[in-house]
Structure 1
Amino acid sequence: MDFNQQIIDTFRANAGEVNEPIQFGKSLVLVHVPKKDGSIRVAPLAAIQEDGAWHIVGSAGGSPKHPAWVYGLRRTEQVDIEVPGEPVTTLQAKVEELTGDERDALWARFKEFSSGFADYEKTAEGRVFPIFRLVG
């Protein structure tokens, strides 16, 4: 089974809590990202909830290139997101890419959330990871 699909299935079956194959707890959202061809890709993404919004980062595991879903979010103003809860809830969310000090503050929060994010800076060849606010 595809790794992302395994996470998506676990998320949906367990009220948004994912502890296998990786320990995420309830810190994921499923983002329905529109692709260029009009289809939708569901991406399970680590998220920080703050001020009534979910924040996600395009880290791509520290790759020097943005993940494909970043471009899909940049082309749209609104997406559906599935958020943890009993049951999992689907919301329409406004998409906003963060910049400047606001982006930097959230990036610091992601590095506090998981040391893996700090490690990604070492392999990203200077790429700045985009951070998006999803407000439902």
Structure 2
Amino acid sequence: MARTSKSAGTPVGVKMMQKVSSTRTFARIAPHVIPAVDRAVHRLSKGRTMMSTRMLPGVILHARGAKTGQPRQTPLACMPEPEKGTWILIGSNFGRPGHPAWTANLLAHPEVSVHWEGQDIPVRARLLAGEERADAWRAVLGFWPPYATYQKRIEREIRLFRIERR
């Protein structure tokens, strides 16, 4: 059984990872390391897992490049919404200034697929706005509080997409 902190029963390792992932050093290093390791582990495990899913649920996004139309595979953390059969993708870019490229890909080509729990699932991505985005953002912050730190660091609004089965 995992050790838990006294506050809210959160596993100690998760609390520590939340602190680490909120640092500027993590934001500088993680985008270069985590996706590469996730791709390798995903390939070696024949699509069964990714390293980052030890902390957060994740998908492999299969999309086309916004400008090139070339196929892109991007490992991403996600927030599953099992009651709706959907997922939220968070364009945090680890709290770095620009939007991540995959968000432009979804805006240009919203008909994509995700690899989730061993299955390739055709989905449609929709950028959230207004009250729907505000509701999703509150849920995202409850799910992984470091996203609030990322948002404070940058001027742009972090893009949230809901992906739904086609």
Whether the TM-score (by the shorter chain) exceeds 0.5 is: yes
Identical positions, percent: 27
How high is the TM-score relative to the length of structure 2? Answer: 0.69
Distance in 1, Cα, partners of 2:137 & 2:149: 13
How high is the TM-score relative to the length of structure 1? Answer: 0.83
SS in 1 for 2:97: coil
Deviation (angstroms), 1:114: 1.5
Matching residue of 1:132: 161
SS in 2 for 1:9: helix
Distance in 2, Cα, partners of 1:93 & 1:131: 15
Whether 1:93 and 2:123 are equivalent positions in the alignment is: yes
SS in 2 for 1:54: strand
Please list, as runs of the form range in 1=range in 2, the aligned pairs for 1:19-98 lying within 5 A after superposition.
20=51, 23-25=54-56, 27-35=57-65, 36-50=67-81, 51-84=84-117, 88-98=118-128
Q: Tell me which of 132, 137, 159 is aligned to 1:102.
A: 132
Residues 74-112 of structure 1 deviation map (CA, whole Å, 9 limit, x = unaligned)? 01131011002xxx1001101111111111111112211
- Structure 2 unaligned regions, length at least 5: 1-31
Residues 33-76 of structure 1 deviation map (CA, whole Å, 9 limit, x = unaligned)? 21121212211111111111111011101122101111110011
Which segments of structure 1 move beyond 6 Å, counting only runs of 4 or more? none
Deviation (angstroms), 1:116: 1.6
Whether the 8 Å contact between 1:24 and 1:46 is mirrored in structure 2 is: no
When the two structures are aligned, how many residues end up with a matched partner? 130
Distance in 2, Cα, partners of 1:21 & 1:132: 20
Distance in 1, Cα, partners of 2:111 & 2:138: 25
The structure with more helix, counted as a fraction of residues:
2
